[in-house]
Amino acid sequence: MKKLLIAAAALLAAPVLAQQPVKVGVVAPFSGVAADFGRQMQAGIDAFFKLHGDTFGGRKIEVLVRDTGGPNPEVAKRLAQELVTRDKVDFLAGFGFTPEALAAAPVATEAKKPMVVMNAATSIVTERSPYIVRFSMTLPQVSAPMATWAAKQGIKNVYTLVTDYAPGLDAEKQFKATFEAAGGKVVDSVRTPLRNPDFAPYVQRIKDAKPDAVFIFVPAGEQSVAFMKAFEERGLKEAGIRLIATGDLTDDDVLQSMGEPVVGVISSHHYSAAHDSPENKAFVKAFREVAKGLPRPNFMAVGGYDGMAAIAQVVAKLGNAIDGDKAMEILKHVKMTSPRGPIEIDPATRDIVQTVYIRRVQKVGGEYWNIEFDRFPAVKDPGKR
């Protein structure tokens, strides 16, 4: 009898084990000035579940959200460590700020857990661990097309302004390299602090230098709004100085709050909520159903959606046998139609290859949108040697 009971228990235990959820630990800011980084990623993930369900290969995907309150690299590293050791996650994901991704990279390597980057956009991020795969963009990847486009428009002299940390330096370097190779000239460059910059004095200096255009990278959100305010207050538009930027400046999350001065700003990026495709229409609709208090998806939301889509592919293929190395083999070869357009991972770099769009802010139906009007297909990260 006892033996029989044990056998019955084993039989019962098997399906229970098979139904253990797959755990994904999402590390990002969910509070503080960059709270919308995490909120956008999470809403993107939830939109994916809304459209495709949350169970793959018989296993439910469970998301564990951890708030860095960042940018805060030490906290990001500790949270990643706890997710791996205490919560036993199968995947790390999220990572809004480059310094947070860099800090967590050794945790992924040590634990052999895939780390699915949904934003952090400095070129070197993917080089910091063989377990990192990126579903966002790189600053060189979006800055080079902006430089090519600007040179083609006959813009000759550009002043650059970037935030003084790794993504900004990447943007500055690539813009200059591409723009000068195309015959333009970067007349001067300034770097502004990551925390609480006062843009007014920098913007005044740019106005006094009278370039044809100014090229900007600042992290999306609070800083984009602050920069646009200074740009307007100092009258650069009236002075005939054109504004070109990476799409972080005209972030869909805050675009409405920028008002009329943002109309006409040209930017280059991998995602606009206005992207015209059936996949994006479905995504925006699902996002609006699940997002709490967010106006529309931004590029971090699409990073969350695609990152989770890739994780779902791994879970569907490996089911009960999820293992970091096998998962990486699948992640390295992901190729799909994203709400942003066609994307694939370059297996040599584990970085994303995608279309980069040139967009102009226009008012349509009473709202501001980044309207795509030119594109550079299949752009790889030019920041990689």
Of 49 and 299, nearer to ligand PHB (C-beta) is 299
Distance of closest approach, residue 15 Cβ to ligand PHB, in angstroms: 43
Number of residues that bind ligand PHB (CB under 6 A): 11
Distance CA 311, CA 62 (A): 11
Contact between residue 356 and residue 141 where contact means Cβ atoms under 8 Å apart = yes
**CA-CA distances (angstroms) from residue 40 to 43, 95, 134, 152?**
5, 12, 17, 34
Distance of closest approach, residue 6 Cβ to ligand PHB, in angstroms: 54
Distance of closest approach, residue 349 Cβ to ligand PHB, in angstroms: 17
Which of 90, 248, 306, 372 lies at the binding interface for ligand PHB (CB under 6 A)?
Answer: 248
Distance of closest approach, residue 267 Cβ to ligand PHB, in angstroms: 11
- Please report how the helices 166-181 and 98-111 are oriented relative to each other, as an axis angle in degrees rounded to 10: 110
Single out the residue of 121, 187, 132 nearest to residue 383, CA to CA: 121
Under the binding rule (CB under 6 A), the answer on residue 220 touching ligand PHB is yes
**CA-CA distances (angstroms) from residue 129 to 96, 205, 307?**
17, 40, 17
Site string for ligand PHB, 94-113 (x = CB under 6 A): --xxx---------------
Distance CA 97, CA 219 (A): 9
Distance of closest approach, residue 283 Cβ to ligand PHB, in angstroms: 20
Site string for ligand PHB, 113-142 (x = CB under 6 A): ------xxxx--------------------
Under the binding rule (CB under 6 A), the answer on residue 167 touching ligand PHB is yes
CA pseudo-torsion sign 249, 307, 137, 368: negative
Under the binding rule (CB under 6 A), the answer on residue 171 touching ligand PHB is no
Contact between residue 71 and residue 65 where contact means Cβ atoms under 8 Å apart = no
Of 121 and 331, nearer to ligand PHB (C-beta) is 121
The residues binding ligand PHB (CB under 6 A) are 96-98, 119-122, 167, 219-220, 248
